[in-house]
Amino acid sequence: MPEHPAITTTSGTTGISGISGISGISGIASEPSRLHPMSPVIDLLVWLPRMWPVFLVAVAQSWGIVAVATGVVVLLATRVVAWWRTTYAFDGAELTVAGGVWNRTVRRVPVARLQQVEVVRKLRHQALGVSRLRLQLANAGSDDGDVLLDVLSVADAEALKSALEQFRREAVAGVSSATAIPPPPAHELLRLDPKLLALGGVTGASLLLLPAALVAALQVLDDVGLDDDAGEVAQRLPVVGFAVAAVILSFVIAATLAALRNHRFRLSRRSADLVIERGLLEQRATTVPIARVQLVRLHRNVLRRWLGLASVDIATSGRSTSDGAGSADDSVPVARWDDAIAVSLVALGGREVVAADRAAASVAVDRLVRRRLLIAVALTGWLPILDSGARGVVAVAVVALLVVVGLVARASGRSRRHGIGPDVVVVEAGALAWSRALVPIDRVQSWRTSQSPFQRRHDLHHVHIHLSGRRHVVVRDATGAQAAAVVAAVRRTEHVEIAR
């Protein structure tokens, strides 16, 4: 598998050797190329499972087998025609993808606009020895906006990926392709072992998958009218034993999924790019240009803070994640705190990061506590009034709940802090789920301030910092002087005295 295809120059035309069937740049050049011949088979493997209800009804009929076989043949023939009509080409400046059976579509992607390039090998791709190439653009993270070459040979996918990355770097840096050389070998920044991955799974969002699945299953049973039967079965089960088994199963599932999704996780730096490799059943190799990074977030829930762990999300304009404290979409699903800090600094490209030492106004913290307590009282305050022999116990439980809500609300308000540096605005928030957003000032697209009636009385502001790809970060309850300082910073004006 060629990692860095050789770059050649012939008669004024720059080409990359390594992709079969092309003159000039491997991937298109003078003659557009088709996807791998296994493409119709891959499409069939995707479509058939989706049609199982139709097949289930059909096989129940006397003519079912013939109908199913005919449907499969027609579907395969349709995918063969679609494969034959789909071509791609890369001339060093644009990637052109043409397709469509009835309506012909030609899409051209300037290489300088690429945000990320990703090679994905799902289980079906691995079984057939092929790969998928995904090109992510500045499209608010919409999958519909991505460019997919779904079935390429492994060698062609790697070669085209390297070619796109090489020419994208040259286009951004303004370097002549004739003098360009392959990027240096990757320098490993972080590798996650299976034990750490499992620990990340049981301390992150994956732990909620089983409870969510149980709720969805109960909803399905209710929809089909089997909820009464399920209730009778549940009554026969020991409650404590069932709860313990569910908790253990949740931990096992979360740890297993985390280990499978991020198997052999490796984060490396190659030239001006970050390369993220992960996965067992679905292998992914994602290239993240450091110059395209719009936002870096660090996430820590209470348990992870106690264990000294964090997750890191590195976002570009072409990538949207669930921003979720160890979710499957995070760039680094889990890492030691020091490693997470080091990764965030590398992703910011050497920009200086300052401490978030400017807190939200105390009057706003007090108001947050009052609002949370009022909501909690409205939801639970009526419980002790119920005519029950356990009224005293319920009252104690409600009071304890209100105390916890008040403490968490105060901690949440005090965690709203921000810092302003020469290169980066730092915004922190959250008590049970804490996050730190690092916003490169030169990536800010726009900003706005907002005030509620309460904020106008106390000269407080929310400052909304908008980034490419519909992302935004909010500095909450800043004083008038602090808000002015944030706006002055994102405007990149001359130096002003930063109010604290």
Q: What is the pLDDT of residue 464?
A: 95
Please list the ranges in the chain whose pLDDT falls under 50. Answer: 1-30, 140-142, 176-181, 221, 224-227, 321-328, 493-500
C-alpha dist (Å) from residue 146 to 43, 135, 142, 165, 320:
18, 6, 7, 16, 12
Q: Quick one: tokens of 228?
A: 């009464």
Which amino acid is present at 474? V
Strands (E), 129-186: 130-136, 147-153
Q: What is the pLDDT of residue 363?
A: 93
Angle at 439 between CA 208 and CA 358, to 5 degrees: 95
Strand arrangement, sheet containing 87-90: 33-34, 87-90, 94-99, 105-110
CA Rg value for the chain: 27
Tally of CA atoms within 13 A in the half-sphere of 438 that contains its CB: 28
Angle at 310 between CA 306 and CA 312, to 5 degrees: 170
Q: Of 165, 178, 154, 164, whose CA–CA distance to 2 is shortest?
A: 154
Q: How many CB atoms lie within 10 A of CB 148?
A: 12
Q: Quick one: tokens of 337?
A: 């705190």
Q: What is the mean pLDDT of the chain?
A: 79
Residues with Cβ < 8 Å from 178, sequence gap 6 or more?
9, 14
- Asked whether the CA dihedral 481, 353, 333, 410 is positive or negative, the reply is negative
Q: Of 109, 48, 117, whose CA–CA distance to 78 is shortest?
A: 48
Q: Is 279 left (phi over 0), alpha (psi -120 to 50) or beta?
A: left
Report the length, in residues, of the chain: 500
Q: Quick one: tokens of 457?
A: 């009385």
Q: Quick one: tokens of 489?
A: 């910073």
Q: Please name the helix (run of DSSP H) or strand (run of DSSP E) that holds residue 387, with its range, or none.
A: none
d(CA 186, CA 275): 8
d(CA 38, CA 2): 21
Q: How many CB atoms lie within 10 A of CB 389?
A: 6
Residues 90, 27 contacting (CB under 8 angstroms): yes
Q: What is the pLDDT of residue 103?
A: 86
Which amino acid is present at 414? R
Q: Of 65, 83, 87, whose CA–CA distance to 75 is shortest?
A: 83
For residue range 92-114, what is the model confidence (pLDDT) as tens digits? 888 889 988 888 888 888 888 88
For residue range 288-331, what is the model confidence (pLDDT) as tens digits? 888 888 899 999 999 999 999 999 999 887 655 444 444 445 68
d(CA 100, CA 85): 6
Q: What is the pLDDT of residue 493?
A: 44
Tally of CA atoms within 13 A in the half-sphere of 326 that contains its CB: 32
Q: What is the pLDDT of residue 245?
A: 75
Q: Quick one: tokens of 157?
A: 């996918």
Residues 395, 386 contacting (CB under 8 angstroms): no
Q: What is the pLDDT of residue 69?
A: 79
Which amino acid is present at 233? V
Q: Is 34 helix (H, G, I), strand (E, B) or coil?
A: strand
Q: Is 153 helix (H, G, I), strand (E, B) or coil?
A: strand
Angle at 428 between CA 425 and CA 434, to 5 degrees: 145
